[in-house]
Amino acid sequence: MSVAVREAPVVVPDAPAAVNDFAINVATANGSGSQTSNGVLLRALFKMGIPINGKNLFPSNIQGLPTWYIIRLSKDGFLARREMTDIQVCMNGRTVAEDMERVVPGGIVIYDDSLPVANNRKDVTYYAMPVKDLVKEAGLPHALRDYVANMVYVGVLAELLGIEPAEIEAALLHHFEGKEKAAGLNMAMVERAIEWTSGHDMRNESYRVERMTGFNEGKILVDGNTAGALGALAGGLSLASWYPITPSSSLAESIEKYAPALRTDPDTDKATVAVIQAEDELSAIGMVVGAGWTGARAMTCTSGPGISLMSEFAGLAYFAEVPAVIWDIQRMGPSTGLPTRTSQGDIHASYYLGHGDTRHVVLFPANPAECFEFGRVAFDLAEELQTLVFVLSDLDLGMNMHISEPFEYSDAPFRRGKVLSAEDLEERQGSWGRYMDVDGDGVAYRTLPGTRHNMAAYFTRGTGHNEYGYYSERPEDWEQNLERLKRKFETARQMVPPPILDEVDGADVGIISLGSNHDGVEEARARLAATGLTTNYLRLRALPIDESVRSFIDRNKTVFVIEANSDGQLHSILTTEEPAQALKLVSMAKCDGLPLSARYIAEQVRKALEEELI
Amino acid sequence: MSTRTRTDAAARRAARPAKTNRIGLEKTSYRGRPSTLCKGCGHDSISQRIVNAAWEMGLDQTQVVKLSGIGCSSKTPAYYLGWSHGFNSLHGRMPSVATGAIIANASLEVIGVSGDGDTASIGIGQFKHAVRRNLPLIYIVENNGVYGLTKGQFSATADEGQFLKYQGVNDLPPLDICMEALTANATFVARSFAGDMKQLEALLKAAMNHRGIAVLDIISPCVTFNNHDTSTKSYGFGRANEIRLHDLSFVPEFEEIQIEEYEDEIEVELHDGGSIILKKIDPDHDPKDRTAAYNVIQQSLDEQKLITGLLYINEEEPTFTELLDLTDTPLTHLPDEKLRPSREALEGVMATLA
Ligand SMILES: Cc1ncc(C[n+]2csc(CCOP(=O)(O)OP(=O)(O)O)c2C)c(N)n1
Ligand code: SF4
Ligand SMILES: [Mg+2]
């Protein structure tokens, strides 16, 4: 094991290092109710205007295994995971030793005084909290004591760092959705802890929080799964079917939660969306395909193991050309893997899911606002292209809280694609072929079941078919059909959300990355720039790639492809699709269950460039 | 000569107008593409009964969808109701596709067709959950006790002790589709025989009138793969050469089995020389009595007879779509503005996130 070393100095020179610029790590046991206290801390800091990010590292367990919550404060707005801890809160005796390894010299350790914390590091300051006594003194009903114990560290941190009690109270009220009694009980505990702390002269000089402006104004605090749910509900969702699996369950549960407010028909008071918990993922995707075929916007959400089960339907949707949307909130695989840790390991699986020659459109949201936007975009693309569309999020984006731009309301018409009505058929005198490429873009016209015209019907099948949908084993029909599907994929390249480019004059080192790596990449670029190494950045937002990816690679000498898996899946797709440029592409793939840190990215880039120079 | 024949035919038609149903259509309008199943396959008889029942009921085919899994049986939706959308989906997964279609557009009449392998083997899970949800769905199992399309393996409904040429003796007890349906709380359970025109059409019509799920287990002999060479009455025809069926390029043509009307029981001789005993349900059986339905099925299984008729019906239970409390207008017909929140509603939610 490596010895704890102080992290490289922060980027911005002359910054008073420890005002609004440090990381708090709260170590608790799963099931001890720390979600409330951590959420309240995060929100209070957010409301003080401080750029923050909260990352929950939790076990696949209901009660007892260790859980960490890492709050990063960054006045400069760098919100990637920090590897080192400035302030460690120990509420779990079993992890004290490893928790201490991550504390920086000069750091602070606050611990429950009933825990076996050996104060043996001379370079940190220890404070013992008499949690049991304080809980007792707060005079709360017995039954509630366990629930509020975690509020002790909230109060201690508030007093120690200068978090405004009024913001803590407001955050509690928000958490308990306005229920004053619940908020009040918790606040009483916080106040008792504040009082105790102030009486013990624990004010420290090294770490402070201060109210600030310029970053959080007008923004919201939200997780990606809530954002995706709202985006789908605003994007015309009619059917969501799902089977519970971490970390995607909260997406479906958010749809359930918000559907009554957002999708009750005001005229009839009835639902305009159905949410169905299926018996398994096969059934979940089957329902989506059935509904998409019938003409409704339908989606399911799942994670790696579910994707595996959906494979056969993915091929059917691709080949029979049925609109469908799958949200994959990625976690660590292979197999059951680390079910509660983040990864980007399903890029290959989703791009190629299915047997035979299949390729799917895959979207990569990087933040909650994009999750919201892609909630609708995925449906537009699925219906316009009559195909399966994946939205690839991950546990870090989906389940952790992020500061986000508010979501923009849109009443632009939904793009429902090429659908022939009874009147259209009348005009064409019923002559149409379901799989006929009339417009040359590979996308044929479809009709919906229930269209009142006796030429509307066609037969959908996963078996070989000709332009009219009739069964065919003719080699020509097969090839023609697959050629058209390729043409359709070319059309898709032009329609998917384009990459976002950030290029710097004179830079010739490029970075291609995707999704939730964005925060780490941006901070790494700033660190590198501070040492004189400027980089260009292309954030890929979808597969298939478009022309701009090729020209970006063209413009750079070396391009690092940064992703959170171990095989370099995006790298391999890019080298396959841009073989002429393959030698320029350097894979930087890391997968340890944690969001990529800026330190890791910056060090790897520098190391690779130095080695190349030698 | 030919001209005169056509004129004659036209004149005859004019003199005797073709029979039309209540929506003015001839029966031929309810046909589909020509069947590609083996001649004499029970599944084709069932397709015929569906055509007849739909025509007699005057179904508007444009408001019907036909769904299926994979198998010889699952190919049949192409062979009837040519004006209806059809979806030959995945092996064992028709129920989930049907669920999605039904929720998307609850005004459609949905007919699902499956085989015994499709339902009782690979698809038993989806089958039971579709039943449990009481989907408004006509669920037809074309039950031949074998995998037809993959050439003659045992399915989960094969009789214990049944002999198949290339698999030997089946040692395992069969799953009974009606019993499984009943256990999963089906609201309509019936069994019939592909060749029993009258009973089958009557049951199909009853199923079309049922609100929730209607499970029809239809015994449908596979003329090609239920051979057994111990049979004394086997068609020695294609078999004399002893070609392995996997290499088979010659499939003997049989007639579809039709049976006359019968009162209590009838022994039906199958193409392979074996036979089954069909037993009509006692006219005094109360199809609203679940326990009686269990008993009658169990008793017939004990006697190795196949009880036919309407075994159970319950018109009281709400359907899945009723429970969802969706708009009366099918979701697929809702305009954009009903498929998204109002600006105020979204802003209300955004305020809680700020
Ligand atoms: C996932 C999958 N596994 C296996 C098959 C091969 N397969 C096709 S039809 C069939 C069995 C069909 O039997 P049944 O449902 O009884 O229909 P029948 O042909 O007897 O009418 C099988 C195993 C398949 N199509 N898909
Ligand atoms: S193999 Fe059997 S089930 Fe299949 S078409 Fe032939 S007779 Fe029918
Ligand atoms: Mg069968």
pLDDT in tens, A240-280: 999 999 999 999 999 999 999 999 999 999 999 999 999 99
Tell me, what's the pLDDT at A205?
Answer: 78
Nearby residues of A34 by Cβ (< 8 Å), 6 or more positions away: A26, A28, A67, A69, A91, A150
Residue in B90, B105, B327 nearest the CB of A265: B327
Fold for B38-329, please state it.
Rossmann fold (3.40.50)
Write out chain A residues lying below 8 Å of B60, CB-based: 452
Domain covering A21-217 assigned CATH 3.40.140.10 in the classification = no
- DSSP helix/strand/coil, B247: helix
**pLDDT, tens digit, 9 for 90 and up, residues B134-191:** 999 999 999 998 999 998 888 999 888 877 777 788 889 999 999 999 999 999 999 9
Count of CB atoms situated within 10 Å of the CB of A35: 17
Residue in A239, A265, A289 nearest the CB of B338: A265
- Which pLDDT band, with edges at 50, 70 and 90, does B262 fall under? confident
Taking the C-alpha atoms of residue A63 and residue A154, their distance in angstroms, rounded to an integer, is 21
Tell me, what's the pLDDT at A507?
Answer: 97
B interface test, pick of A279, A318, A388 with most B CB neighbours within 10 Å: A279
Among protein residues, the one whose CA lies closest to atom 11 of ligand 1: B147
pLDDT above 70 covers a percentage of chain A that reads 97
Residue in A237, A266, A286 nearest the CB of B97: A286
Quick check: B249 pLDDT over 70?
no
Q: Does residue B36 contact residue A473 with C-beta atoms inside 8 Å?
A: no
**pLDDT, tens digit, 9 for 90 and up, residues A289-308:** 999 999 999 999 999 999 99
Tell me, what's the pLDDT at B226?
Answer: 64
Domain ranges of chain A: 21-217, 222-404, 422-495, 500-613
- Count A/B contacts: CB-CB distance under 8 Å: 229
Interface contact A230-B101, CB threshold 8 A: no
Taking the C-alpha atoms of residue A386 and residue A321, their distance in angstroms, rounded to an integer, is 5
Token pair 């079910």 is at which residue?
A339
Tell me, what's the pLDDT at A200?
Answer: 87
Tell me, what's the pLDDT at B11?
Answer: 65
Nearby residues of A599 by Cβ (< 8 Å), 6 or more positions away: A7, A8, A83, A524, A527
Fold for A222-404, please state it.
Rossmann fold (3.40.50)
**pLDDT, tens digit, 9 for 90 and up, residues B34-64:** 999 999 999 999 999 999 999 999 999 999 9
Tell me, what's the pLDDT at A241?
Answer: 98
- Of residues A481 and A143, the one with the higher pLDDT is A481
b (16+ CB within 10 A) / e for A212-245: eeebbeebbbbbbbbbbbbbbbbbbbbbbbbbeb
Interface contact A460-B343, CB threshold 8 A: no
Nearby residues of A538 by Cβ (< 8 Å), 6 or more positions away: A499, A500, A501, A502, A510, A511, A512, A513, A548, A549, A552
Instruction: Please state which of the four CATH numbers 3.40.30.10, 2.60.120.10, 3.40.50.150, 3.40.50.920 is assigned to the domain occupying A500-613.
Output: 3.40.50.920
Quick check: B280 pLDDT over 50?
yes
- Mean pLDDT, to the nearest integer, of A97-103? 94
- Which pLDDT band, with edges at 50, 70 and 90, does A60 fall under? confident
Comparing A21-217 with A500-613, is the CATH topology the same?
Answer: no
Taking the C-alpha atoms of residue A489 and residue A321, their distance in angstroms, rounded to an integer, is 12
Q: Of chain B residues 37-96, which have a CB less than 8 A from chain A?
A: 60-63, 65, 67, 77-78, 82-90, 93, 95-96
Q: Which residues are registered as beta bridge partners of A363?
A: A391, A542
Taking the C-alpha atoms of residue B242 and residue A89, their distance in angstroms, rounded to an integer, is 80
The whole-model pTM stands at 0.94
Tell me, what's the pLDDT at B327?
Answer: 98
Looking at every residue in chain B, the average pLDDT score rounds to 87
Q: Which of B127, B50, B102 is nearest to B330 (CA)?
A: B102
Domain ranges of chain B: 38-329
